[in-house]
């Protein structure tokens, strides 16, 4: 786990304003939380910003904040909404049938011009840029 005091001392020595962890292993080292979602979907990142002064924070989708809070040494977050998320009642007997029925109700024409790579993969970087400016 990250030793915040040691990291800030090194940042002072190197004249750095902040450290930003982007890779899955560096995020784990900085926070203590291993995101299984990011492990499974490689282009998903959860940037961690460790400023020389002030509180470190994680940029993550709103659905993952509770997991970070429960498992991370960092407790400050910049969240972005999860755009496409479907929930199924675990008590239903046939998840596949429920998924098919629910997916047929979605008006996919609304998503025709959506760039999912930017929406899902790069969205954290957009929020990171806003937070660092």
Torsion of CA 80, 85, 90, 94, to 10 degrees: -170
CATH topology of domain 4-82+120-132: Creatine Amidinohydrolase; Chain A, domain 1 (3.40.350)
Report the predicted TM-score, pTM, of the whole model to 2 decimal places. Answer: 0.65
Residue with tokens 């784990």: 28
Residue 86 neighbours by CB under 8 Å, 6+ apart: 99, 102, 103
**What are the tens digits of pLDDT across the range 29-84?**
999 888 877 777 766 788 899 998 889 999 888 878 888 889 888 889 988 776 54
Residue 48: its H or E element: strand 48-51
């Amino acid at each position: 786990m990250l030793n915040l005091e040691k990291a800030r001392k090194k940042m002072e020595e190197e004249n750095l304003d902040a450290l930003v962890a982007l890779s899955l292993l560096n995020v784990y080292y900085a926070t203590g939380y291993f995101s299984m979602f990011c492990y499974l979907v490689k282009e998903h990142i959860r940037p961690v910003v460790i400023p020389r002064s002030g509180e470190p924070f994680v940029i993550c989708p709103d659905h993952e904040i509770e997991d970070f809070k429960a498992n991370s040494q960092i407790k400050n977050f910049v969240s972005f909404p999860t755009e496409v998320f479907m929930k199924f009642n675990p008590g239903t007997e046939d998840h596949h049938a429920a998924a098919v029925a629910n997916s047929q109700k979605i008006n996919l024409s609304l998503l025709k011009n959506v760039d999912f790579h930017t929406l899902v993969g790069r969205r954290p970087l957009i929020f990171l840029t806003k937070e660092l400016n």
